[in-house]
Amino acid sequence: MPQFARVCRLWGNRPQWPVAALAAAVLAAVALAPAPARAAQCPAQPFALSGGFGQSTNLGQIKRELVNYGCFGDYQRDLAREIGVARAFIEARAGEVVKPAIVLDIDETSLSNWRQMLNNDFGYIPRGPCRLGAGIACGQGAWELSATADPIVPMVELVAAARARGVAVFFLTGRPDGVAERVATVRNLRRAGYAGWAELLMRNRSERGFSAAAYKSARGFAIIANIGDQDSDLAGGHAERTFKLSNPFYFVP
Ligand SMILES: [Mg+2]
């Protein structure tokens, strides 16, 4: 999708020129930014593929497309652009409402599990130990408890900018609530550079309607933006605007 068409889709149809100017500046900065360091598990060169992204019908070929997308810059650039659009909106809107707040998903929105996904060849392995690079699968639970997911740097910067404008930040994650999980998630967020958030909301195993219950915690705030990498993160209509980040690697219904 052309860059401006994507921006227009995220913004809706209303003209918002101050936001447009801010977003244009962000896009220019993204275009000039150096590519981030490549994960150790990445191949030295992109795989040669017979078709463009999304053209394959073979699972092994699709995985190679995902490796190319994640290892050679396009994924990080897409995230930076998408987060830049959200940031421009938040910065412009923060001063216009009373008690502004934003809701952020964690995995593939605030923290990146890219190294684990690559290690596991894009398979979801719920249990088992995690030793990246040891030639064995890295279990999801052990990985989360290791608190070593990487920062998504443009989101760290968005949170700092939002906090500087008095915006309350709520993290809302499908990670299961529990003492060890909560401690590890807080440690990982701090390690990644996040600070000053209002609350970390995690899924309660015994509760249904997790999302609606969680949003009650933000009662009294004007939720101006909700950012996530899954459509299911953004359901419910609780936020003024939603921003969907790229994630072709897995699907959460
Ligand atoms: Mg996520």
- Ligand 1 centroid–CA 108 distance in Å is 5
Q: What angle do CA 154, 19, 164 make, to 5 degrees?
A: 50
**202 CA distance to ligand 1 middle (Å):** 12
CA gap 79, 151 in Å, rounded: 12
Is the predicted pLDDT of residue 8 greater than 60, yes or no? no
Distance CA 125, CA 173 (A): 19
Q: For residue 134, what pLDDT band results from cuts at 50, 70 and 90?
A: confident
- Give me the residue spans of the domains in the chain: 2-244
For residues 30-47, average pLDDT = 74
Q: Is the pLDDT of residue 230 over 60?
A: yes
**Per-residue confidence (pLDDT) for residue 238, from 0 to 100:** 84
Q: How many CA atoms lie within 13 A of 239 on its CB side?
A: 26
- Residue 15: the pLDDT is 38
Is 100's pLDDT higher than 70?
yes
Give residue 50 CA to ligand 1 midpoint distance, Å: 30
Question: In angstroms, what is the span from residue 122 Cα to ligand 1's centroid?
Answer: 15
**Residue 202: beta bridge partners?**
173
What is the Å distance from ligand 1's center to 83 Cα? 14
Tell how far the Cα of 170 is from the centroid of ligand 1, in angstroms. Answer: 14
Of 158, 153, 134, 122, which is closest to residue 251 (Cα–Cα)?
122
CA–centroid distance, 231 to ligand 1, in Å, is 10
What is the pTM for the complete model shown?
0.80
Per the structure block, which two tokens stand in for 44?
Answer: 């030295």
Cβ pair 41, 118 in contact under 8 A: yes
Q: What is the pLDDT of residue 219?
A: 73
CA of 229 to the centre of ligand 1 (A): 5
* pLDDT at residue 147, as a whole number: 98
227 has a pLDDT exceeding 50: yes
Assess contact for 224 and 169: CB atoms under 8 A.
no
Tell me how far the alpha carbon of residue 117 lies from the centroid of ligand 1, in angstroms.
13
Q: Across the chain, what does the average pLDDT equal?
A: 84
Taking the centre of ligand 1 as the mean of its atom positions, its distance from the CA of residue 233, in whole angstroms, is 7
For residue 180, what are the CA distances in angstroms to 5, 141, 145?
Answer: 43, 10, 7
Q: Tokens 């404008």 map to which residue? A: 165
Q: Environment class of residue 146 by beta-carbon count within 10 Å: exposed (0-12), middle (13-18) or buried (19+)? A: middle
Distance 44 CA to ligand 1 centre (A): 28
Would you state the pLDDT for residue 27?
A: 56
Contact indicator for 29, 84 with CB cutoff of 8 Å: yes
Pull the structure tokens for residue 244.
């969907």
Highest mean pLDDT among 9-18, 59-68, 105-114, 215-224: 105-114
**Distance in Å, CA 228 to ligand 1 centroid:** 6
What span, in angstroms and rounded, lies between the C-alpha atoms of 226 and 165?
Answer: 17
pLDDT tens, position by position, 193-218? 999 999 999 977 555 545 555 666 66
CA dist 166 and 59 (Å) reads 46
Level-2 CATH architecture, domain 2-244 = 3-Layer(aba) Sandwich (3.40)
Ligand 1 centroid, distance to 17 Cα (angstroms): 30
More confident site: 126 or 31? 126
pLDDT tens-digit series, residues 163-174: 999 999 999 999
Distance 245 CA to ligand 1 centre (A): 9
